[in-house]
């Protein structure tokens, strides 16, 4: 039977300046709706799962537009609550070569999602239905109520036998109190999680772990097993990303499970739309695990999914399993007729 | 010497769905920056004055874009403070015929302007320089700090011999406590004002005045003289607007000064962009007064300015005095080559 | 419990030349997906029903795009079959004033829908679930297989106690053999229908009925009762549309039930997008009937729905019951904030 | 055999600000290529004639674009000379309601056409082939070389038995010396013309004729016969245009031939794109004459052509004879499928 | 005297999703008209020849738009028949990096061209006028009538002394019966051809020839001389294309004539619009042959033409001989002022 | 105190074909306003200076649009004169890979600027206020009046203690008489200049200097010191630009001061919008000098500014000092949140 994948998180309105102009130069925007939860649900639907998003949207034309957009991605409205008036928004100015992209946020703390409370969500039904639930560090950085809903969701799903996936995703600008403020909340989530997305930087900075290693890979190999053991985590996975001098990106994934590290190839590629690539990687890891792939295949699949997400306009991954598997083979068709 | 016209108010980012689509149907927006203060400053510049805007903009790419837009309108940056992170925003879905336009706001109370304090503004220099300052009821509905800045600006300008213009502009959705909450603030502003934009509805609802008259014009004629006397106001002016069955609009203006009412013709016209028409009317009244027009000419000029503002894309009036005077004559050129 | 409204019909890709250019002048198109079935399902969802579309879409990127669009309208994919390669398409060049709009079709007979067979549809489940099913004369003009599916759907729904709504919608260009070819198929559908959308022209031309009356209204009053009796139809409804010299449209609706005719007011209005107005009228009639409105309210509601559909971009009605009821009162808000 | 219609004139690049924005507000333009000569040639091709344009285009990418555009209109390149570097240009800001459209020209006197000389054109071949040649007052206002080419073309075509059509089209801004400068040039053209487009204002102002009549129609009736006699002109035709209070336009045409005046109905209509309407009227007069219509039909056909040209985007008429004849009947189809 | 180059083939409407969005993400399309025949005729016109297209277009607004587009490319309408109702269409979603482009076709077999018969074309006049006629394997895959017209055109042109150029262009999706179905038709065309575009894959798969060689170049060198001898073909030419890891393309051309192989350099380049590059290569071979270039120059010219076609938006090559010769020199100007 | 940087030069309207289409393919343009003077003033404002442009704009809607655009860039209107009717314009077709960009100019010699005279400018006030004035070789190629204004500006600024910066910027197409015509004018400017932008080609071709060296760098090292000595120039700086096979550009800058040459690294980068890069380099040199940077830092800063200008849409540099300094470090952020 098709597995049910749930994600919990804020839906944001993304407003992108077309082409490579700055906000001061242009006068039009393209808009879509996204967020880690949206990306995970949508990516998993593309991979053949039932994908559900647990969130709250404002009860006004902007909420209507967000819901329409989610439905277009085949996300159902069953667990989407409506109420309140605001939606988080961000503006994206595309970078070009040596000029980096810029993201500017509006005040999201007043959004329907960030002011939502546990009672807004049908938590028991979700817990019963979910084979897996995805939660992330961005959501963890929001309000106390949201953190409460997040923890309860993780707890209840776990109690009912579902898996909990937590993506550390630490964003410095969201934690006024820095790592110290974040640490206890991260620990609480890691205690609940079966699958965790992170790398050595999260271990060192958020969890405050120490290492004498100097390269990223050595640090990773020393710290991740400690994290797995401390928090009793089944799978830890993540990526290292690098930008070449010619502005191509290099992505390398790893997965750690049963005391074994597997690394993907270094995939090098040109980037059309950077945002959402990490969520595509996560969806690849989840798919590999749910589909029973060997670790070697899982991590190559995940990194190919992350690479293809960079070839798609917008945040949301749109590639099917067949397309991702083709990309794993390093073959590029010219034109598919 | 050219007169200096100041206005104080929030700059908002207006994001308009192109054509007649709804937010759920479209995927692009056109953006510009506006607000009553912007509209008044810009309209007065077009009429030949030095126009200054007193406001605070966020110190980020959105604030940069707002400032660029204001400068494009010839508004100088001398009295525009930068700081904080947010800008108020609204989305506009254009109506068509029997379907009304819809405006949806974001949470503006956290904006740089609405969290600004008196010390953000160079109030003494403004007071010394201003021949007239324009303030409005929308700003009055915001935060206590903003109200404080507003009252101090009015007081200081008055002390230095400048005129204070106050536009009542009561917006029900902005006052949680309704008329009762608004009334004392409105009274405080009316006490300070020399020129007031309002009509009989403001007198009846905001000020709680009574009348046995039944038509709008009779109510106006009874109540406005009482307001002028009570608050010692030199000029009161305003409009009545009506929408015909064929979706043309009818605009009629009035001005009351020295115990005398003068009404304009009923101007009937097709509307391209409704927002900003009231501010254009106000700018016409101010120009008539500053230029020493007879009341008859002032009110016809103002109503023609309001009408032409409806033929211009965006909120901000763009017509010159010559264009407005031509429109007063009921003549329409075909193509100006 | 929420009623289930089904419609059966082809989804077409509508490609509209932007603005008022001709296909020979422009180089861009806007696309959406529509069809009578889509419009009915979507309009009924907006009015608060569960709306289902029974159709077949190609299994390729165009079919994917169509399905995404339908989901965006909240139409679920439960009864949408995928398979085959083609989708019917039409190009729309907007007319202006004395220049009429032009629609140019591609060869739709090879479409997935028009080559679909009964076995493509889960007919028993549909019949069990449907409170009402909507079918139309455009579908009737297609292939023998489609006609077969259509008749079986009507029959099975009727057997299970659901209502059958048939919209005559005779399109001359679709019947090579003219009225003679169409007549037996129309009679078969009328025999099955509980609610029929038609007017006197359908009676005279498609059914070949005679009348000596000369005005449209008199012809209607004479012929419709005969149709109702002959085919044992519970409700017949329809519209008369006229274009004024100033290009405004006039719409007048009627409903006939229990030997009683009720006519709506003549509603006069400006048109933004003409296509889909008839389907909005139908949805109004269905809503009135399902909601138990009096006939007078039903027909005014339906004609207001038809009018508002002309203010919406695209074929598909987007108005809520609240918006339609407001339009029934002849009031137009200026800007809804 | 199909008649050959030639026109002589400048091709200009038209750059239109989209929608109703001003040049100071927008940042995009739509461009096309037009001019009276282009419009006449293109309109006559649509009416079934061989249409040729005699002009000179720059030998650079702008000239290439102009030529492509002309070819798209089915105008052949046989009599289009290439050389020099510049093309005349104008910017169009669309008016709305009481706000008039604005046209701003670039310096056209240095254009390839306006610096062209008689030797640039294959005048003998043209004269042999032309059944009719169209020339206009705008061209007459340009340089001495252009005027020379214009007069020689008229003379040679006449010698070979072709008809000469001259459209007075006096544009005040093009004649620095005013009517006095223009008069001798106009007289020279009228001496050569068989068919002339003008009205009473041309007679009074350009030719300096006197009348005691006060209405436009009475002035027309007194002066036009005098012009016809003085210059020995076979046909004179023209229009009166008026703008109603509701911004619809009224167009009335007349034709004078063999001492007989025929007036068309007053046609009232909404305008989408004003420019080019006069040329469409001219093409209707030429078609009526070449096709042997009665005067009554000719003038109604011409005024309907002028009206339909206002429903078409761009300067160039795009209507077929069948479409114009349908418009003569005051019938408007809703949607042509 | 300028040589007359004819091509025979279907005109298709190409509808491209702008940028890199998928059909499910976007709502606008850019359209143009193309096809191998269009590309060859247009490319040869750019190289200084008279280019004619032999085809049939529907007699409706889509056919009008296609004809306008062809005329814009300087293709004359002399040999373009009008009639029937449909035009073949395809949708193009641009790929990016590792994500391939996708082309989705509509049902083209019912198009005016594919239902055309020999009598639709003025075959005798064409044969008399043509210095060369171009035919291709895509057309060969269509209907029996089209194949009949194609063979007769080749035969008649050959009889009158013109050259026959055949481009093998085998598209697997167009031949339901695979190579076996295609083979006899290909042999018939090769029997008639003087110049053939193909490579070793066509020889091996379509013609079923055998080779023990393992590299593409060795296979080519063994098989092409056999093809030339068997079918008595004067010139055979073609390309090998490869996509690099960084998504640049490498193109290498060859030409075989008089028992001699000449290969071009490997040209490596970035691709903007892939479609049409092969036709540009063909036009380069034809130009080299007609202009009497040495084989070395011909094949470098052809491969440069193919490369430049990838820098042009749309299918149709737009480069002049001068531009192609500049590209042969490996020099890239920065900005041509 | 903030330094005042003046530049003198023509404002041109830049009309760019969107994407990579040619003028013959597209029908829309994006427009902005630029010119060396605009670029320098705007770039210096971004770097923290008061930037003033001395120019003359037409008194019509195009001049209004130009002024609005300049104000948007924070350029004040104090020294911008209005009058006359024309503005210089150019069309830009973007190249792609091996296809070079094309610029086509309109006849700019009749522009308001190029017909302006010394009396149009408030030369004494400018001279008093300017810490530095920038002039360039493009302006020098225009009319005698413009040259006169240019020389007087340089002279007066120098007299008042300001610095004179002259950019040689020789454009062959602007000098009909070639180097011979240009030479005396260049010498006159070099005599007045303190800072000069040039490289060895200017020395050899414009000044007619001789060298036996064969590489560009050796020629530079031999000739530039001679120029500095001959004309008593404090600083000479410039760039060498090269295009790689993969279409990336390489930029290397140099600066010569006090008998010392300093060269920057070779910076290699992808180009989005080529135009304006040279002016960004100049602004970097001026900033380095005014800010008292060491030569090594100045030239790296300048070349990074030039590189970043290629990542910005439009001609005008938009980077802040902080952004340029970040780029000097060879670090590229992924996304700035």
Of E325, E271, E268, residue with least CA distance to E298: E325
Q: What is the dihedral of CA A182, A188, A194, A199, to 10 degrees?
A: 20
CA distance A309 to chain E (A): 10
**Cα–Cα distance for residue pair F129/F136, rounded to 1 Å:** 20
Q: State whether E98 and A319 contact (CB < 8 Å).
A: no
Q: State whether F313 and A19 contact (CB < 8 Å).
A: yes
Say if residues D135 and D164 touch (Cβ distance below 8 Å): yes
| Tens-place pLDDT, residues A130-182 | 999 999 999 999 999 999 999 999 999 999 999 999 999 999 999 999 999 99
Enumerate the β-bridge partners of residue D93: D102
Q: Is the pLDDT of residue F103 over 90?
A: yes
Set of chain E residues whose Cβ sits within 8 Å of the Cβ of A307: 98
Predicted local distance difference test score (pLDDT) of residue E294? 98
A100 DSSP 8-state letter: P
Average pLDDT of the segment spanning C313-335: 89
Predicted local distance difference test score (pLDDT) of residue F247? 78
Give E211-217's long-range contacts (Cβ < 8 A, gap of 24+).
E216/E240, E217/E263
DSSP labels for F219-252?
HHHHHHHHHHHHHT-SEEEEEEEEE-TTS-EEEE
Q: Is the pLDDT of residue D246 over 80?
A: no
Say if residues E306 and E253 touch (Cβ distance below 8 Å): yes
Set of chain E residues whose Cβ sits within 8 Å of the Cβ of B27: 26-27
DSSP labels for D131-200?
SEEEEEHHHHTS-HHHHHHHHHHHHHHHHTT-EEEEE----GGG-TTHHHHHHHHHHHHHHH-SEEE--H
> For residue D118, which phi and psi values (nearest 5 degrees)?
-50, -40
Of D222, D230, D220, residue with least CA distance to D193: D230
**Pick from F24, F96, F102: CB nearest E336:** F102
Set of chain E residues whose Cβ sits within 8 Å of the Cβ of B26: 27
The residue of E22, E25, E26, E27 whose CB has the most chain B CBs within 10 angstroms, and thus the best one to mutate to test that interface, is E27
CA distance B226 to chain A (A): 40
CA distance D124 to chain B (A): 36
Say if residues F165 and F135 touch (Cβ distance below 8 Å): yes
- Residues contacting B288, CB < 8 A, separation 6+: B255, B295, B297, B298, B299, B301, B302
Total number of residues shown for chain F:
337
Average pLDDT of the segment spanning E107-135: 97
C78 and chain A: CB distance < 8 Å anywhere? no
DSSP, collapsed to helix, strand or coil, labels residue E118 as helix
Of C171, C176, C163, C175, residue with least CA distance to C135: C163
What are the structural domains of chain D? 1-161 (3.40.1190.20), 234-332 (3.40.1190.20)
C270 and chain B: CB distance < 8 Å anywhere? yes
Total number of residues shown for chain B:
337
**Cα–Cα distance for residue pair F266/F300, rounded to 1 Å:** 10
- Residues contacting C101, CB < 8 A, separation 6+: C92, C93, C94, C95, C274, D334, D335, D336
Set of chain B residues whose Cβ sits within 8 Å of the Cβ of D247: 270, 332
**Cα–Cα distance for residue pair E58/B152, rounded to 1 Å:** 74
Predicted local distance difference test score (pLDDT) of residue A215? 95
Instruction: For F171, name the nearest residue in chain E, comparing CA atoms only.
Output: E337
Of B260, B221, B212, residue with least CA distance to B240: B221
Q: State whether E22 and C107 contact (CB < 8 Å).
A: no
B78 and chain F: CB distance < 8 Å anywhere? no
Number of Cβ within a 10 Å radius of residue F129: 18
Kindly state the percentage of chain D with pLDDT values over 70: 99
Residue with tokens 């093809």: E227
Kindly state the percentage of chain C with pLDDT values over 70: 99
**Cα–Cα distance for residue pair B78/E105, rounded to 1 Å:** 60
Average pLDDT of the segment spanning A68-78: 95
Does the CA dihedral A263-A266-A267-A271 come out positive or negative? positive
**Pick from B311, B334, B335: CB nearest D98:** B311
F320 and chain B: CB distance < 8 Å anywhere? no
Set of chain D residues whose Cβ sits within 8 Å of the Cβ of F30: 27-29
Q: State whether C272 and B20 contact (CB < 8 Å).
A: yes
Say if residues A222 and A203 touch (Cβ distance below 8 Å): no
Q: Is the pLDDT of residue E82 over 90?
A: yes
CA distance C32 to chain E (A): 7
**Cα–Cα distance for residue pair C80/F319, rounded to 1 Å:** 53
Say if residues C236 and C227 touch (Cβ distance below 8 Å): yes
Chains that touch B (3 or more CB pairs under 8 A): A, C, D, E, F
CA distance B26 to chain A (A): 9
**Pick from D68, D85, D107: CB nearest F24:** D68
**Cα–Cα distance for residue pair E327/F245, rounded to 1 Å:** 12
Average pLDDT of the segment spanning A279-287: 98
Predicted local distance difference test score (pLDDT) of residue B245? 72
Number of helices (H) and strands (E) in chain A: give both, helices first: 11, 15
**Cα–Cα distance for residue pair E159/E6, rounded to 1 Å:** 15
DSSP, collapsed to helix, strand or coil, labels residue C252 as strand
> Which position has the higher pLDDT, E334 or C298?
C298
E59 and chain C: CB distance < 8 Å anywhere? no
Q: Is the pLDDT of residue A333 over 80?
A: no
Within chain D, strands assigned E span 4-8, 12-16, 28-34, 50-57, 80-82, 88-93, 101-105, 132-136, 163-167, 195-197, 235-243, 249-257, 260-263, 267-269, 335-336
Mean of pLDDT over chain A: 96
What's the pLDDT band for C94 if we cut at 50, 70, 90? Answer: very high
Say if residues B103 and B90 touch (Cβ distance below 8 Å): yes
- Measure Cα distances from A47 to A36, A50, A280, B220 in Å: 16, 9, 11, 67
Q: What tokens does B148 get? A: 């404080």
**Cα–Cα distance for residue pair C217/E104, rounded to 1 Å:** 49
Mean of pLDDT over chain B: 96
Number of Cβ within a 10 Å radius of residue D335: 14
Number of Cβ within a 10 Å radius of residue C323: 17
Q: State whether F68 and B73 contact (CB < 8 Å).
A: yes
CA atoms within 13 A on the CB side of A258: 3
Average pLDDT of the segment spanning E83-101: 95
- Measure Cα distances from B88 to B29, B63, B110, B142, D266 in Å: 16, 11, 8, 12, 52
**Cα–Cα distance for residue pair B181/B115, rounded to 1 Å:** 20
What's the pLDDT band for E332 if we cut at 50, 70, 90? Answer: low
E91 and chain C: CB distance < 8 Å anywhere? yes
Q: The whole model's pTM is what? A: 0.96
> Which position has the higher pLDDT, D293 or E274?
D293
Q: What tokens does A100 get? A: 């980096």
CA distance C243 to chain D (A): 8
The residue of C53, C71, C318 whose CB has the most chain A CBs within 10 angstroms, and thus the best one to mutate to test that interface, is C71
Enumerate the β-bridge partners of residue D261: D256
Average pLDDT of the segment spanning A8-32: 97
End-to-end CA distance of chain A: 33
Say if residues F290 and F49 touch (Cβ distance below 8 Å): yes
Q: State whether E74 and D71 contact (CB < 8 Å).
A: yes
Burial of D19 (0-12, 13-18, 19+ CB in 10 A): middle
Say if residues D123 and D156 touch (Cβ distance below 8 Å): yes
Q: Is the pLDDT of residue A252 over 90?
A: yes
Total number of residues shown for chain E:
337
- Residues contacting D330, CB < 8 A, separation 6+: none
**Lowest-pLDDT choice from B242-256, E58-72, F269-283:** B242-256
CA distance D281 to chain F (A): 27
B112 DSSP 8-state letter: T
Predicted local distance difference test score (pLDDT) of residue F155? 98
Farthest CA pair distance, chain D: 55
Kindly state the percentage of chain B with pLDDT values over 90: 93
Predicted local distance difference test score (pLDDT) of residue F226? 98
Average pLDDT of the segment spanning A251-263: 97
DSSP, collapsed to helix, strand or coil, labels residue A59 as coil
Number of Cβ within a 10 Å radius of residue D110: 18
Predicted local distance difference test score (pLDDT) of residue F1? 80
Say if residues F21 and F15 touch (Cβ distance below 8 Å): no
Q: Is the pLDDT of residue B23 over 80?
A: yes
What's the pLDDT band for B335 if we cut at 50, 70, 90? Answer: confident
Q: State whether A243 and F313 contact (CB < 8 Å).
A: no
- Which parts of C166-247 fold into alpha helices (H)? 178-192, 200-201, 216-231
E258 DSSP 8-state letter: T
B258 and chain E: CB distance < 8 Å anywhere? no
Average pLDDT of the segment spanning B116-145: 97
* Stretch (H or E) spanning B153: helix B144-159
**Pick from E22, E32, E68: CB nearest C61:** E22
- Which parts of chain F fold into alpha helices (H)? 36-46, 61-72, 123-129, 137-140, 144-159, 178-192, 200-201, 216-231, 277-291, 295-309, 321-328
ipTM above 0.90, yes or no: yes
Instruction: For C318, name the nearest residue in chain B, comparing CA atoms only.
Output: B22
Predicted local distance difference test score (pLDDT) of residue E184? 97
Mean of pLDDT over chain F: 96
Set of chain B residues whose Cβ sits within 8 Å of the Cβ of E26: 27
Set of chain F residues whose Cβ sits within 8 Å of the Cβ of B68: 72-74
**Cα–Cα distance for residue pair A2/C269, rounded to 1 Å:** 51
Crossing angle, helix E295-309 and helix E321-328, to 10 degrees? Answer: 100
Average pLDDT of the segment spanning E214-243: 96
**Lowest-pLDDT choice from A190-194, C163-167, F267-271:** F267-271
Q: State whether A72 and C74 contact (CB < 8 Å).
A: no
**Lowest-pLDDT choice from B240-249, E189-198, F121-130, F312-321:** B240-249
Average pLDDT of the segment spanning B237-250: 88
Say if residues F53 and F7 touch (Cβ distance below 8 Å): yes
Predicted local distance difference test score (pLDDT) of residue B87? 98
Farthest CA pair distance, chain C: 55
Q: What tokens does E272 get? A: 């903007």
**Pick from B32, B104, B110: CB nearest A60:** B104
């Amino acid at each position: 039977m098709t597995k049910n994948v749930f994600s919990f998180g804020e839906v944001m309105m993304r407003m992108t300046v077309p082409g490579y102009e700055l906000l001061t130069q242009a006068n039009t925007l393209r808009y879509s709706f996204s967020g880690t939860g949206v990306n995970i649900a949508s990516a998993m639907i593309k991979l053949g799962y039932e994908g559900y998003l647990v969130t709250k949207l404002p009860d006004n034309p902007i909420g209507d537009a967000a819901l329409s957009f989610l439905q277009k991605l085949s996300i159902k409205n069953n667990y989407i609550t409506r109420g309140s008036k605001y939606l988080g928004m961000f503006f994206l100015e595309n970078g070009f070569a040596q000029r980096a992209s810029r993201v500017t946020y509006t005040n999201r703390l007043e959004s329907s999602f960030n002011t939502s409370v546990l009672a807004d969500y049908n938590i028991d039904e979700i817990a019963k239905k979910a084979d897996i639930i995805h939660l992330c560090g961005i959501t963890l950085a929001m309000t106390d109520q949201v953190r409460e809903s997040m923890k309860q969701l993780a707890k209840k799903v776990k109690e009912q036998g579902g898996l909990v996936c937590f993506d550390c995703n630490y964003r410095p600008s969201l934690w006024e109190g820095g790592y110290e403020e974040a640490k206890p909340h991260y620990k609480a989530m890691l205690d609940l999680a079966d699958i965790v997305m992170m790398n050595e930087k999260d271990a060192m900075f958020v969890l405050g772990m120490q290492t004498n290693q100097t390269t990223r890979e050595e640090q990773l190999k020393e710290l991740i097993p400690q994290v797995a053991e401390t928090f009793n985590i089944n799978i830890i996975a993540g990526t290292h990303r690098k930008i070449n001098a010619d502005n191509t990106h290099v992505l390398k994934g790893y997965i750690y499970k049963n005391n074994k590290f597997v690394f993907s190839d270094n995939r090098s590629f040109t980037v059309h739309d950077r945002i959402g690539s990490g969520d595509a990687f996560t969806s690849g890891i989840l798919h590999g695990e749910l589909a029973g792939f060997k670790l070697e295949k899982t991590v190559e699949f995940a990194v190919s999914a992350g690479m293809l997400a960079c070839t798609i306009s917008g945040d949301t991954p749109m590639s099917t399993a067949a397309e991702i598997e083709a990309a794993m083979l390093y073959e590029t068709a010219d034109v598919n007729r």
